[in-house]
């Protein structure tokens, strides 16, 4: 059969690599890095290279499923939506909208449907029970950025292409390919940092692949990065090394921070973190002395008990050394699509409401998913009885999973938009499958706002929909109608027009947009005949900072420009953005937000002794959270779901490679095979997440052959109290050897 090629951005992680797909008809028969991509220059990882296998996975759902007598069977779309319309509204009629909840998962930020059409749906559902993967991930960074800069989306990213000195805590981009720092070919960029004489220091309780190739690796006791960074801040003040540089006139609260850290020092931090005091002082001096330096923290700094304080201290260090908002430091991208802020200037805060059972504060409109289980289990007004999940697998990804699994089974109604019958969706009454990824368009709205260069790249659909498939954005609109009493049939074109008009209205009323004051209807007319995500994207690009402003800047960007440039448009290196980027009153950085300064006291309090092991996670190139395990090529090679254990600890327990040990925590227990390695600190163990594909009623024929264990059975629902983010790293567990079966 004749083949053709298509160029497309990979939607599988934050790196946004360009792929060249080879197709026979509608089938992908090859995937390679796109050498002409303006950002990734041909880089590809094993997930991108096996994209075709994932797309054409025979277990992928192509028709709606409904559950009858405990079994799932295929149904028509009309049947599926009729059930949803009837039963969701019945729950609302009986118990109110607060008895309904939504969980949205990670792939939504890799997909225009989720990025553009979820928000209107969530608004219409009128419930505060909104949960997402953010609260098992980066929520602390949103909260610290919200308080520092007035905008929880204004997350500074390390300018890794031109820095001289990079301190990386709790991140492993040679495996993850980078997070909250979109940089395709992260490994190559770290190599380039080294080649130009720069220095990379990695802080991690494991000698990760990134740590191994760094100039310096510092082992740290899990969960204590905040203590380390606090000492570095104290040392900057004590040694008179604070130099705000160009930030000197925009920072408030310097003295408050100085007071808050006074009396804390490298020796105290050393006792908590296990990092030598001399190392802490030396790193502080290196940071202060470097011309262009950046501090960057990821999963190991956010999914811990002090996640928000640690995330804040990362940027406090960037600010105190004058490295924020300058090339080679920590900078803000300026993406091509205008994102009208959901937050009032000068008004951002958490805790506008609290969760019903455990009283956790709302943050960025969400409640912590660690407490979803409490909201389902605990009787009373507002008890959650119906749940919608969109592209999420909380049964594996969120804490106290065994308990959550039981709670999901107890719901009156569960509706899932997903592509698999998996650990979460097996509980669904109705599953609505999304279309194949290559049948939809792509633009990384979320990640261009976190990228180390300003780039825009749009990929049109590569294939048409097959008969019987539906577009996910249309499913979300239809759900909005069905769940709010408009019946199972909604005029989707009218609903889409309504969403577009709303966006145009937001853009024209935003002072930051190139279409401020214009008539929304006029803009809509100018985007004709586009509809759906393309219309929304065209509006955003044209209103955005490089846009044509619908005629006001004739040479500016439109969606058509991106269509003409399939390898992307490079909009240049990051530029300083202060004061525009700051949304606090007066355009000033609040270095000392009350909530965070108060949390320093918690950080400084003596920690309870822990006799057992501390559990941390890890990622691998051949795995993708919980849904990358059904791709045959990625499952080849050695087993990835093993328990990393230091040789001395292995000796102490009397176990060796392949032996099984039982891990017990406050929440539960699992049994995992040991892999002895001195790449991990003594007293620390590591198990990856997203495994445990051995449950009844799932259809993952490859993943379930070697299912692995679900590490989140061990996480007990503890959170960082400031953000509500789950504690997934630094979980206290005890280990015991599983006795070998007696010989017969
Ligand atoms: N212990 C521990 N737990 C963790 C982590 C950790 O490091 N350690 N990491 C956390 C992090 S960072 C994250 S982001 C979360 C992820 O948590 P989740 O987002 O809940 O889980 P994923 O594994 O990403 O599952 C994504 C789901 O979306 C479905 N899906 C894939 N593509 C599509 C699509 O196009 N449309 C729709 N509708 N569905 C689709 C998949 O089938 C799968 O069910 O896990 C978190 N959990
Ligand atoms: N191949 C692959 N790539 C992925 C994913 C995937 O599942 N597979 N998931 C994607 C997602 S959703 C995300 S959010 C990103 C995450 O991207 P990263 O944060 O870079 O990913 P991790 O590999 O989880 O790296 C976390 C590191 O923190 C260390 N660590 C654990 N606890 C601590 C601690 O207390 N202190 C310090 N300093 N370090 C600690 C761990 O040992 C680990 O090396 O990766 C994305 N990319
Ligand atoms: S690094 Fe991420 S974006 Fe690039 S090919 Fe791999 S999965 Fe895709
Ligand atoms: Mo994530």
Output the CA 245–ligand 1 centroid distance in Å: 41
Evaluate: CB of 422 within 6 angstroms of ligand 1: yes
Phi/psi class of residue 368: alpha, beta or left (left: φ > 0; alpha: ψ in -120 to 50)?
beta
For tokens 């497309």, the residue is 8
- How would you write 570-616 as a 3-class SS string? EEEECCCCCCCCCCCHHHCEECCCHHHHHHHHHHHCCCCCCCCEEEE
pLDDT, average across residues 273-279: 98
Q: Is 179 in the pocket of ligand 2 (CB under 6 A)?
A: yes
Nearest atom in ligand 2 to 622's CA: 1
Q: Identify the helix (H) or strand (E) that includes residue 387.
A: strand 386-390
Q: Is 299 in the pocket of ligand 2 (CB under 6 A)?
A: yes
**Ligand 2 in contact with 670 (CB < 6 A)?**
no
Looking from the CA of residue 628, the nearest atom of ligand 1 is: 23
Residue among 607, 719, 730, 731 nearest 669 (CA): 731
Q: What is 680-732 written as a DSSP string? A: B-TTEEE--SS-----TT---TTGGGS----GGGT--S-B-TTT--B--SSEE
Say what the pLDDT of residue 67 is. 98
Kind plus residue range of the DSSP H or E element containing 532: helix 532-543
Q: How far is the CA of 189 from the centre of ligand 2 (A)?
A: 18
Local structure of residue 362 (DSSP, 8 states): P
Name the phi and psi angles at 523, rounded to 5. Answer: -65, -45
Place of tokens 């190599």: 191
- CB of 182 within 6 A of ligand 2: the answer is no
- Written as one string, the DSSP assignment of 489-505 is ---HHHHHHHHHHHHHH
Reported as a single tens digit per residue, the pLDDT across 363-414 is 999 999 999 999 999 999 999 999 999 999 999 999 999 999 999 999 999 9
Ligand 2 atom with least separation from CA of 206: 42
Q: Which atom of ligand 3 is nearest to the CA of 12?
A: 7
Q: Is there an atom of ligand 3 within 6 Å of 48 CB?
A: yes
36-42-45 Cα angle (round to 5): 150
Nearest to 441 by CA among 346, 562, 587, 297: 562
pLDDT at 744 over 60: no
| pLDDT range class, residue 742, cuts 50, 70, 90 | low
**CA 390 / ligand 1 centre spacing (Å):** 10
pLDDT tens digits, residue range 320-357?
999 999 999 999 999 999 877 777 778 899 999 999 99
Digit-coded pLDDT (tens) for 466-487: 999 999 999 999 999 999 999 8
- Taking the C-alpha atoms of residue 69 and residue 72, their distance in angstroms, rounded to an integer, is 8
Query: What is the pLDDT, as a whole number, of residue 346?
Result: 80
Q: Which ligand is nearest to the CA of 33?
A: 3
Give the H or E element holding residue 266. Answer: helix 266-273
User: How far apart are the CA of 359 and the centre of ligand 4, in A?
Assistant: 25
What is the tens place of the pLDDT at every residue in 192-207? 999 999 999 999 999 9
C-alpha of residue 407 to centroid of ligand 1, in Å: 19
**Given a cut of 90, is residue 607 above it in pLDDT?**
no
434-465 residue pLDDT tens: 999 999 999 999 999 999 999 999 999 999 99
pLDDT tens column, 127-146: 999 999 999 999 999 999 99
d(CA 379, CA 573): 54
Ligand 2 site-directed mutation target among 160, 168, 170, 729, most atoms within 8 Å of CB: 170
Does ligand 3 have an atom closer than 6 angstroms to the CB of 631?
no
Four-point Cα dihedral 469, 707, 697, 130, nearest 10: -70
Distance CA 715, CA 251 (A): 38
Q: For residue 121, is pLDDT > 90?
A: yes
- pLDDT score at 191: 98
pLDDT band at 741 (very low <50, low <70, confident <90, very high): low
Is residue 17 in contact with ligand 3, taking CB distance under 6 Å? yes
Cβ–ligand 3 distance for 47 under 6 Å, the answer yes
Q: Is the CB of 238 under 6 A from ligand 3?
A: no
Measured CA angle at 367 (ends 366, 373), to 5 deg: 140
Q: How far is the CA of 626 from the centre of ligand 1 (A)?
A: 6
Q: Which two tokens stand for residue 468?
A: 């019987």
Segment 278-291 mean pLDDT:
98
Q: What is the DSSP string of 200-229?
A: EEEE-SB--HHHHTSSEEE---TT-HHHHH
| Whole-number pLDDT of residue 743 | 60
pLDDT for the residue 115: 95
Cβ–ligand 1 distance for 136 under 6 Å, the answer yes
Distance 12 CA to ligand 1 centre (A): 11
pTM: 0.98
Q: Which of helix, strand or coil describes residue 520?
A: helix
Report pLDDT digits (tens) over 224-233. 999 999 999 9
Q: How many CB atoms lie within 10 A of CB 328?
A: 21
277 close to 190: Cβ distance less than 8 angstroms: no
DSSP 438: G
Closest ligand (CA of 178): 2
Report whether residue 132 contacts ligand 1, using a CB cutoff of 6 Å.
no
Peptide bond preceding 529 in cis form (omega within 30 of 0):
yes
Strand-strand pairing, 430-433 and 413-418 = parallel
Distance, CA of 330 to CA of 328 (rounded, Å): 7
pLDDT at site 340: 72
Kindly give the number of the ligand 1 atom that is closest to the alpha carbon of 437. Answer: 35
Q: What is the pLDDT of residues 477-530, one digit of tens each?
A: 999 999 999 988 999 999 999 999 999 999 999 888 899 999 999 999 999 999
Is 15's C-beta closer than 6 angstroms to any atom of ligand 3? yes
The half-sphere exposure of 473 on its side-chain side, counting CA atoms within 13 A, is 23
Radius of gyration, alpha carbons of the chain: 25
Residue 97 has pLDDT above 70, yes or no: yes
Q: Are 687 and 673 in contact (CB under 8 A)?
A: no
204 lines ligand 2 (CB under 6 A): yes
Give 170 Cα–ligand 2 centroid separation in angstroms: 7
> What does the pLDDT read at residue 663?
98
- Phi/psi class of residue 587: alpha, beta or left (left: φ > 0; alpha: ψ in -120 to 50)? left
pLDDT score, position 606? 81
pLDDT, the chain, mean? 96
pLDDT digit string (tens) for 569-580? 999 999 999 999
Q: Confidence class of residue 610 from pLDDT cuts 50, 70 and 90? A: confident
Quote the CA–CA distance of 519 and 447 in Å, as a whole number. Answer: 29
């Amino acid at each position: 059969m004749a083949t053709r090629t298509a160029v497309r951005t990979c939607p599988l992680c934050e790196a946004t690599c360009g792929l060249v797909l080879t197709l026979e008809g509608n089938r992908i028969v090859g995937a390679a890095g796109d050498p002409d991509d303006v950002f990734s220059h041909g880089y590809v990882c094993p997930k991108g290279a096996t994209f075709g296998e994932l797309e054409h996975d025979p277990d992928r759902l192509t028709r709606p499923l409904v559950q009858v007598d405990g079994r799932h069977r295929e149904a028509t779309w009309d049947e599926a939506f009729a059930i949803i319309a009837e039963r969701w509204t019945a729950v609302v009629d009986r118990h109110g909208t607060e008895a309904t909840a939504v969980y949205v998962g990670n792939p939504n930020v890799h997909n225009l449907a989720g990025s553009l059409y979820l928000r209107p749906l969530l608004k219409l559902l009128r419930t505060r029970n909104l949960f997402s993967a953010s609260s098992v991930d980066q929520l602390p960074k949103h909260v610290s950025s919200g308080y520092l800069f007035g905008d929880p989306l204004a997350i500074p990213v390390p300018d890794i292409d031109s820095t001289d000195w990079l301190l990386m805590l709790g991140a492993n981009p040679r495996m993850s390919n980078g997070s909250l720092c979109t940089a395709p070919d992260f490994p190559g960029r770290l190599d380039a940092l080294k080649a130009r004489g720069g220095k990379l220091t990695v802080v991690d309780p494991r000698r990760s692949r990134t740590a191994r190739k760094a100039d310096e690796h510092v082992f740290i006791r899990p969960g204590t990065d905040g203590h380390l960074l606090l000492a570095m801040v104290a040392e900057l003040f004590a040694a008179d090394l604070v130099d705000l540089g160009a930030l000197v006139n925009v920072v408030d609260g310097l003295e408050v921070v100085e007071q808050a850290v006074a009396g804390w020092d490298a020796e105290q931090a050393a006792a908590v973190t296990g990092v030598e005091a001399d190392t802490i002082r030396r790193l502080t001096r290196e940071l202060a002395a470097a011309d262009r330096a950046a501090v960057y923290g990821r999963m190991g700094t956010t999914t811990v008990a002090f996640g928000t304080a640690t995330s804040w201290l990362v940027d406090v260090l960037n600010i105190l050394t004058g490295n924020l908002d300058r090339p080679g430091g920590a900078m803000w991208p300026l993406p091509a699509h205008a994102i009208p802020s959901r937050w009032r200037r000068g008004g951002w805060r958490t805790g506008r409401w609290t969760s019903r059972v455990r009283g956790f504060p709302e943050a960025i409109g969400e409640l912590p998913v660690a407490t979803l289980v409490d909201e389902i289990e605990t009787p009373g007004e507002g008890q959650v009885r119906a749940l919608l999940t969109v592209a999420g697998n909380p049964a594996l990804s969120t804490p106290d999973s065994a308990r959550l699994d039981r709670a999901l089974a107890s719901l009156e109604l569960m509706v899932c938009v997903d592509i698999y019958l998996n650990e979460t969706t097996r509980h669904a009454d109705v599953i609505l499958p999304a279309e194949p990824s290559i049948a939809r368009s792509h633009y990384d709205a979320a990640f261009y706002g976190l990228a180390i260069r300003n780039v825009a790249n749009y990929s049109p659909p590569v294939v048409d929909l097959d008969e019987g498939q539906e577009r996910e954005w249309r499913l979300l609109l239809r759900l909005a109608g069905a769940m709010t009493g408009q019946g199972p049939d909604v005029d989707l074109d009218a609903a889409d027009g309504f969403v577009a008009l709303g966006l145009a209205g937001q853009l024209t009323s935003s002072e930051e947009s190139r279409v401020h004051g214009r008539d929304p209807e006029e803009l809509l007319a100018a985007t004709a005949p586009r509809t759906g995500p393309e219309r929304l994207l065209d509006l955003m690009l044209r209103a955005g900072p490089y846009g044509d402003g619908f005629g006001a800047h004739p040479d500016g960007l439109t969606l058509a420009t991106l269509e003409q440039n399939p390898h992307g448009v490079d909009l240049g290196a990051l530029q300083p953005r202060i004061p525009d980027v700051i949304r606090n009153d007066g355009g000033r950085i609040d270095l000392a937000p009350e909530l965070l300064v108060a949390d320093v006291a918690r950080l400084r309090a003596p920690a309870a002794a822990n006799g057992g092991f501390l559990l941390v996670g890890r990622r691998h190139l051949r795995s993708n959270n919980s849904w990358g395990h059904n791709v045959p090529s990625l499952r080849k090679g050695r087993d990835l779901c093993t328990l990393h254990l230091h040789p001395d600890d292995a000796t102490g327990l009397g176990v060796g490679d392949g032996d099984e040990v039982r891990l017990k925590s406050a929440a539960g227990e699992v049994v995992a095979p040991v892999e002895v390695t001195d790449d991990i600190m003594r007293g620390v163990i590591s198990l990856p997440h997203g495994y445990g594909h051995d449950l009844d009623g799932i259809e993952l024929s490859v993943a379930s052959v070697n299912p692995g264990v679900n590490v989140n059975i061990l996480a007990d629902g503890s959170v960082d109290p400031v953000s509500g983010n789950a504690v997934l790293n630094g979980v206290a567990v005890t280990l015991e050897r599983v006795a070998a079966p007696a010989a017969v």
